[in-house]
Chain A
């Protein structure tokens, strides 16, 4: 579909009525899109809006059900990623398609012309990565690299093909603000060379900062095409979400009570070569407080959660205290019995068993902490299905969980709705301590604001809440205190009002700016 007033052949890529059906579900429904040479074009949308499905079709990973793709004026059928690369389309995936067991050069070689030798590829990759300000060691094993470095491999791999169009799928979701700035410089360099960039994101400020035009998707349909610089964040958000997003109110969460959760010089060695060891972490969360721990993925967040929740107890009891009782060596159920609640990062397979119903997932988490309510028959421990189902219903109602039936399997819920249920499962107990890892990762804006409000409300009612998150917007919405985790070390804890994004960015990179003694650090 040509844009009004423009001849069709001025487009690099035009997509007309592109549709992808999975069964009867239309992930993409009649999408129109055009990308001009030398522009950075944003593809905006919530999770599940169809962005990833659309670009997978453009890159030949998925076959469209109907519709057409026109490349430089010629209708094309892109049968495979190698066909897309031959046309001049490069792609940087959100979940990297890298091989951890292989080296950087070997990873790049896999997408290159087989005639080129590995040593030549290593040299070219190294040169190119330096030219674009993304330095890389071609002989390093991917397993040993950080997420930011892994993304560089993907970008360099795409650039080595000399593409006319580069598709980036949520590239900044794993980067520190400083790393993101560096990426934006690279993108502007590419644009200056006359290449086009299709930039997929749901982060409005980024899109407004670097993109020339934007196409907005919702529920698989295009809901708007605009110049993002002429829009306001709220008008863009409306196009994305379809309605105004409720604002999270953190008013009145300043009152502080006793320390409810405490870690004293918590250290833990890495369990796997790709895990991060925790180094001397000290933190205190008071009643009424929301402590948010910011940081780029893979800096010890999961390990910290495991230690705090008791999934992997630590060697000494005194290192972790819940409501002033030492619990370091106790398991997760013992800690739950003391009034703590935990929500891990992975919804499927960790927080919930996808194939089991919501009520079964409820009893799995709370069979010990709510033994009296949910289990009967003395030592036999028979499940009181009615009581459990009632509780599941109560949680669904409280958190506005939208589901297909009375008690469907967890896997049939959308990410946002399942997350609401999992958070609600803990909130239902009114925990005095709640530890949540990435509470709204991959969740739509409506569900995210609901979950965040619930966390703030819990703190207001006098509980201590610890939120581990990569999302700075989320952190500023919910936190009363903020700390940053980097390479397994925790920064000082700052009141949320004293920190700026830039400061957090510096802390994420491990730059502490000032050194303080432990006493001043943890005094509130």
Chain B
């Protein structure tokens, strides 16, 4: 295996959790809800996936636990912001802080334990394709899921009637309500999908990326995922492009150090955010495409006036 292949594989491993968390947050934001708690849901998913795997010995149970914990944690966010109509920004920040705290507490006994790595699933013929086979078809389940989820979300949002309703809710909740769309239920489902994806992203961290548990192991990836959604201007396939770009940047930090290239690592870790700012400036120049892609009701609470 050449050095180039090895680098690509580490980029994929670094990019997958970003893509997963971002595609979930994209669906949440397309419904008009801004959940800043991605980091918290992700780290909860990482902790629960690791604990479940250690208890049962099966990383697949771990994946399910990660998904379930993320979804459950986002349900708390949904209840606060959608039912009790609290401020979405403040609640999301609180969710992140709570997630970091709770995961540290429940995972304390597991710190330092060596975990079980999620096995690779090798596709018989395809994996023998030179170069690409080893990169794309000798991966773990979570990688395959991440690509399938992006394709599925794209199809759902732009081809299905339910996806149309979800976009409508995100564009103007009062109009959607007037048309008989159940705004609150749609948003609950979108928030929980976002939570489940963030939980799965967390599971990838503690089962694939580094198969062990450490406090705060999400290490800011939730925030990068949030930036990624804006970077992708709420279009699913751009999440993949942006996710791999950001993944490559974070990996380049390691290689830059290893090869003694004199770029400060702080600069490299700031790059995703700088890139997001540049994209924000670019898309705000073309207001028409922004208005057609940006959910107009993003971050606004909905209270039906019945």
Contact = CB atoms under 8 A, between A and B. Distances in A.
B178 A97 contact: yes
Interface string B263-306: 00000000000000000000000011001110110000000011
B173 to A, nearest CB: 10
B171 A61 contact: no
A109 B291 CA distance: 21
Interface string B144-175: 00000000000000000100110110011011
A98 interface: yes
Nearest to B159: A118
Interface string A75-112: 00000111101000000010011111110001001110
A85 B180 contact: yes
B261 interface: no
B291 A143 contact: yes
A70 interface: no
B181 interface: yes
Interface string A109-123: 111001000000000
Contacts of B180: 60, 80-83, 85, 111
A93 B178 contact: yes
Given A61-B177, A99-B171, A102-B171, 10 more contacts: A81-B180, A93-B178, A100-B172, A101-B171, A101-B296, A110-B164, A110-B176, A111-B179, A143-B288, A272-B291
Interface in B181-204: 181
B164 A102 contact: yes
Given A82-B180, A100-B296, A110 B288 contact: no
B306 A63 contact: yes
A429 to B, nearest CB: 36
Contact of B167 (A81, A97, A101, A111): A101
B161 A99 contact: no
A62 interface: yes
Contact of A100 (B174, B287, B291): B291
A102 B171 CA distance: 9
A513 interface: no
B166 to A, nearest CB: 11
Contacts of A97: 172, 174-175, 178-179
B305 A62 contact: yes
Interface string B92-115: 000000000000000000000000
Nearest to A86: B180
B287 A272 contact: yes
A141 interface: yes
A273 interface: yes
Contacts of A102: 164, 167-168, 171
A54 to B, nearest CB: 15
Interface string B72-98: 000000000000000000000000000
21 contacts: A81-B180, A82-B179, A93-B178, A97-B178, A98-B172, A99-B176, A100-B172, A100-B292, A100-B296, A101-B291, A101-B293, A102-B168, A102-B171, A110-B168, A110-B179, A111-B180, A141-B292, A143-B291, A272-B291, A273-B287, A273-B291
Interface residues of A, number: 27
B306 A62 contact: yes
Contacts of B165: 110
Tell which of A83, A97, A111, A272 has the most Cβ of chain B within 10 Å: A97
Contact of A61 (B176, B178, B296): B178
Given A110-B176, A110-B181, A143-B292, A100 B171 contact: yes
Contacts of A274: 291
**Interface residue tally on B, bucketed by range:** 20 to 34
Tell which of B165, B174, B175, B178 has the most Cβ of chain A within 10 Å: B178
Nearest to B175: A97
A93 B178 CA distance: 10
A205 to B, nearest CB: 30
Nearest to A157: B179
A114 B296 CA distance: 24
A98 B174 CA distance: 10
A73 B34 CA distance: 47
B164 A106 contact: yes
Nearest to B306: A63
A101 B158 CA distance: 12
Nearest to B289: A273
Contacts of A272: 287, 291
A96 B291 CA distance: 18
Nearest to B182: A80
A81 B179 CA distance: 6
B164 A109 contact: yes
Given A100-B291, A101-B291, A81 B178 contact: yes
A170 B25 CA distance: 40
Chain A to chain B: the 9 pairs with minimum beta-carbon distance, closest first = A82-B180, A273-B288, A97-B175, A81-B180, A99-B171, A97-B178, A114-B161, A101-B171, A101-B292
Contacts of B287: 272-273
Contacts of A62: 305-306
Contacts of A143: 288, 291-292
Contacts of A80: 180
Nearest to B292: A101
Contacts of B164: 102, 106, 109-110
Tell which of A98, A99, A143 has the most Cβ of chain B within 10 Å: A99
B177 to A, nearest CB: 8
Tell which of B174, B295, B305, B306 has the most Cβ of chain A within 10 Å: B306
A8 B79 CA distance: 47
A61 B174 CA distance: 10
Interface in A256-300: 272-274
Contacts of A110: 164-165, 168, 176, 179, 181
Contacts of A98: 172, 175
A14 B15 CA distance: 62
Contacts of A100: 171-172, 291-292, 296
A63 to B, nearest CB: 5
Contact of A109 (B161, B174, B177, B295): B161
Contacts of A114: 161
Contacts of A96: 175
A97 B181 CA distance: 12
Contacts of A106: 164
Nearest to A272: B287
A141 B293 CA distance: 12
Interface string A42-81: 0000000000000000001111000000000000000011
Contacts of B177: 61
Nearest to A113: B161
A465 B287 CA distance: 35
B154 to A, nearest CB: 16
B159 to A, nearest CB: 9
Nearest to A117: B161
A273 to B, nearest CB: 4
B176 to A, nearest CB: 7
A43 to B, nearest CB: 19
B296 to A, nearest CB: 7
A144 to B, nearest CB: 8
B84 to A, nearest CB: 21
A114 B161 CA distance: 6
